[in-house]
Amino acid sequence: MLEVLKNQRIKVIAVGDYYVSPETMVKAVEQSPLNVSEMITCFWGDDDQQAFAARQINVERNGPEAEAYAEGIDEEIVDADVLITHFSPVPRSLIEKGKNLKAILTCRGGLEHICVEAASERNIPVVNVIRNAEPVADFALGMILALTRNIAVSHCGMMQGEWMKDFPNSAFTTTLSRLTVGLAGVGNIGMELAIRLKALGVTLIAHDEYTTQERLAKNGLGDMRLVSSLEELFREADVVSLHLRLTEENLKVINRNYFSLMKPTAYFINTARGGLVNQEDLIQALKDKTIAGAALDVYDAEPLAADSELRKLDNVLLTPHIAGQTVDAIPNSPFMLMKEVGKIIKDGIADRIVNNHALEKEVL
């Protein structure tokens, strides 16, 4: 894999953007074991946050070909050994120009911006880092508590002068330890959430085609039951928390069929990707009280429209895609990435190498 980089002097291209600057990437590389002979920096995207967000969403939804990559790479990639990016697209055409490319590194967990297929064909390892697993897990736990115990809605009522005692879910409000939480996906974020929930005495079930009971046991979750299908998960859980990776194959996969399986006392949480859910089907389920409620941090279009039907519902908790935003998660991501690279070079341990199309296993 990356053993070839141990002693060889290499040329590195670092592509920063609005959130992760090229200068931060340079500092991280300087603290890494990479033996750099030449460092080229580029900038991708816009200095305007909203414009950058629009391009980011386009790439997440439509892949690395959806937006042009950073200017200035074409000439430099020809003899580069390592390409480091945060969100700049890495399409097939760019990978094919990198005749000497030995690794592609990215400061985030999602790989929608990289043509992993083209990298795998060339046997070029792609290394990513799950920078915000803990912040998102914390946030998802907070959403579960706020939704099931009416914390958010009662706060809004208090601010409007109301003293609320009755809620749509009053007949079945209970303690967290009496609930069964179902995790759709047990990658890094799902695993962190499971660890937190177990500490609170919650019964856990999960569906993940790429994990095993042995992996769960190594993380202290040997008693968490893996169910055979998403259908079974949605049918059994009192709370379903979504932690899947968005692909072309699972776009809007969570639809009315799944919501119809849920108990009328059950809740749906999404801190993963808005594109995983058929939003209209979810809105209808909430309107019809097919499910008790939902908490959403992500949407099929962002920012959420001012006239969205979601804003008119009394059984939904909405936040503006902030689950992963802490003061340290994104700025520290290049350093986390270089720490991962250092582990691979030193010990050959590849927790975050994605190759041969094993994306789901690594970044669910």
Rounded-to-integer distance, Cα 34 and Cα 358, Å? 25
302 a catalytic residue: yes
Tally the residues of the chain: 364
Answer yes or no: are the C-beta atoms of 102 and 2 closer than 8 Å: yes
Answer yes or no: are the C-beta atoms of 337 and 105 closer than 8 Å: yes
Out of 273, 340, 360, 362, the active site residue is 273
Rounded-to-integer distance, Cα 155 and Cα 164, Å? 9
Pairing mode, strands 180-184 and 267-270: unpaired
Q: Residue 86 gets which letter from DSSP?
A: S
- Per-residue CA distances from 39 to 83, 132, 338 (Å): 10, 27, 15
Token pair belonging to 331: 């700025």
321 a catalytic residue: yes
Out of 92, 122, 149, 321, the active site residue is 321
Answer yes or no: are the C-beta atoms of 91 and 115 closer than 8 Å: yes
Rounded-to-integer distance, Cα 346 and Cα 343, Å? 5
Distance of alpha carbon 148 from the chain centroid: 23
State the amino acid at position 121 in one-letter form: E
Rounded-to-integer distance, Cα 137 and Cα 324, Å? 9
CA atoms in the 13 A half-sphere facing the CB of 363: 27
Out of 60, 96, 232, 302, the active site residue is 302
State the amino acid at position 201 in one-letter form: G
**Catalytic residues, which ones?**
273, 302, 321
